[in-house]
A and B are shown apart, each in its own frame.
Chain A
Amino acid sequence: MTETARPIIQIQNVSKRFGKVTAVDNVTLDINAGEFFVLLGPSGCGKTTLLRMIAGFELPSEGKILIDGHDMAGIPPNKRPVNMVFQSYAVFPHMSVADNVAYGLKIAGVKGGEIKDRVAEALELVKLGGFETRMPDQMSGGQRQRVALARSLVMRPKVLLLDEPLSALDAKLRAQMQFELSDLQEKVGITFVTVTHDQDEALSMACRIGVINKGEVAQLATPSDLYEYPANRFVADFVGSVNIFEGKLTLDDPDKAAVDCPGLGKVYLNHGVTGPHGADVWIALRPEKIYLHVPGEGKAVKAAAQDAPDGYNFARGKIKGMSYLGDITLFEIELESGACLRVSRPNLSRHDQEDFTWGDKVSMHWRADSPVVLLG
């Protein structure tokens, strides 16, 4: 995709200021044709403003937005080749499902027969066939969202914009819709741009994710790169759960590196980080990448941690808190340094959660390719 990618949306040095507040700060990014792009960020980070600028509901203070190569400056929302699914769905309450979906086609002057066919096709696509005569107030939130989706898809836009599409659904439905949206996107081949604050949603649906923080792009990457190779502390912390420790870079060769963290201990990496020697860096370590052992399993720990020199990638502590979540158990472990480490452990057997309890002394290790060194 990367070589043949054709940008359908080009955002070039776009800023948006509301009075003294800068909502979007000099953002430049390309969204490729046919991809499922997610703008991810905490609330108030400017991601929705960015989406609304693409749709034309806000005008950039600076910079320009190109859709399919055409500058969108001065083009109102009703003339842009994009359609939007709103957070509240904004289904017209006084129109039946079929009338809702047909609305855009009627405005566009499409002939009656074709409208009927395309409405039926769109409703089939979102699995609402047979709901034509229903009124929106007779439908659930999930169904209303499907109406909103069909209403936009029926216009065959170049880009479909979705503003927090799943935030109003309950957890089960949300998980289901994540899959359905991905499926739908593959089926229709339209570029989807979604805004969300939910990292699970972003990771599960996106081809690429743009993480937005304080109006700026913090990182632009595929879901797995974002999770495994976060570019900075904000991304590491925002996407998933993470332990972050400050440390000094003591060794930095092309094939190995070491960081001395007062909180965590000595951390060894089996790759170079190209950071200045002795620099202040941060170590990010995901909870699921830490192995937990009962004391006395020392040999096993050593054997497992043999990809690092003695005394590295190893810690001791005491279980301070734990929460059993069914599939995994989360532990909060107080290290000898006094710092806390979050560790998650999959419950591979039905009795795994009984292995540890509060106050237990434990030791931990992690592999040399697990920690991520962050320079910023």
Chain B
Amino acid sequence: MALFARTPVAPLEYSRTLWMRLWVGAVMIFLYAPLVVLVIFSFNDSKRNVVWRGFTTKYYEKAMGNDQLVEALLNSLTIAALATIVSLVLGAVAAVMLWRFRFPLKSAIDGTISLPIIVPEICLGVAFLMFFAAVNWPTDLIWPFNLGAITIAHITFCFPFVTMVVRSRLATFNREQEEAAKDLGASEWQVFRDVLIPHIKPALVAGALLSFTLSLDDFVITYFTSGPDTITFPVKVYSMVRFSVTPEVNAASTLLILLTVALTFVALKLQGVKAIAETH
């Protein structure tokens, strides 16, 4: 205790008490130890990747030279980008509709819109497999059209998340702002563009981040909807791991982590962290 506290600890300064620091430390280890191990072992100079045998970056070269892995990564990013854009539009429109208008079957739609979040992924995966088989979805299209099935599946489970965050943001909207804009001469569309969209912008950024990461790391549903030419990154990693856990897998995963962290960072910077925190 004396080691940390030079001045007496005030009643509400929990962050300066020893037990709180130990607890936070334990949580951090629990959360991040596996990731740290993954990153460290990506530099391991060993084929089996069980014991540490020295530092090397050759597995990074190997991973980036692995055409199949790079192709899978490219597929994943393409799917994630497409799914994010469509989910954003679909989700935001659904949220505004449910918030703004009254229409028949509204409560039914309200209740079922988040179903893709609740339904177990494995069931959704099987459902998509059956569905695309039943409608005879073409599998021999050229890239990127061959990613259509996976993208559609991803949109299905991504857009309810967008709807959720946008709706919670809309709940804090002051309707007087809408009336003020109308009072100043704005049409419905101008109100939407000038007042409502700026208000839900943080939720749109949060929704986009959610969609992108959800799509990027989805394995179960993708596994059921991907064909031989449409391997995504998680599916590829899984198939590599089935043979052996080499540092190459670690290296590829580390790169993916870096990529998502960087994207998140950029998005937060663009929007301002405070604004995103406001949505929750």
Chain A interface (Cβ < 8 Å from any Cβ of B):
55, 57, 76-79, 82-84, 86-88, 90-94, 103-104, 107-108, 148, 151-152, 155
Contact = CB atoms under 8 A, between A and B. Distances in A.
Contact of A77 (B177, B183, B194, B195): B183
Given A94-B198, A107-B190, A78 B176 contact: no
Given A94-B198, A94-B199, A107-B190, A83 B174 contact: no
A78 B180 contact: no
A86 B182 CA distance: 12
Given A148-B180, A151-B180, 5 more contacts: A87-B176, A94-B198, A94-B199, A103-B194, A155-B184
Interface residues of B, number: 18
Residue of B183, B185, B198, B201 most packed against chain A (CB within 10 A): B183
B185 A86 contact: no
A8 to B, nearest CB: 17
Contacts of B199: 93-94
A90 B180 contact: yes
A103 B176 contact: no
A92 B176 contact: no
A90 B184 contact: no
Given A77-B179, A103-B194, A90 B174 contact: yes
Contacts, number: 61
A148 B176 CA distance: 12
A57 B179 contact: yes
B179 A86 contact: yes
A91 B179 CA distance: 11
B245 interface: no
Nearest to A94: B198
A78 B186 contact: yes
| B contact patch SS | helix
Given A87-B176, A90-B174, A90-B176, A103 B181 contact: yes
Given A86-B179, A88-B174, A107 B198 contact: no
Interface in B225-249: none
A107 B187 CA distance: 9
Contacts of B182: 57, 76-78
A88 B176 CA distance: 7
Interface in B31-61: none
B183 A78 contact: yes
Interface of B: 174, 176-177, 179-187, 190, 194-195, 198-199, 201
Contacts of B176: 86-88, 90
A90 B194 CA distance: 13
Contact of A83 (B184, B186, B194, B201): B184
B184 A55 contact: no
Contact of A107 (B174, B177, B179, B186): B186
A155 B198 CA distance: 23
A148 B201 CA distance: 23
B186 A86 contact: no
B186 A55 contact: no
**Shortest Cβ-Cβ A-B pairs, 5 listed:** A104-B184, A90-B180, A90-B176, A94-B198, A86-B176
Nearest to A148: B180
8 contacts: A78-B182, A78-B183, A84-B180, A86-B176, A90-B176, A90-B180, A92-B198, A94-B199
A368 B102 CA distance: 62
Nearest to B195: A92
A151 B184 contact: yes
Contacts of B190: 107
A107 B184 contact: yes
Contacts of A107: 184-186, 190
Residue of A55, A79, A92, A152 most packed against chain B (CB within 10 A): A92
Contacts of A93: 199
A78 B187 contact: yes
Contact of A108 (B179, B183, B185): B185
Contacts of A151: 180, 184
Contact of B183 (A55, A88, A92): A55
Nearest to B180: A90
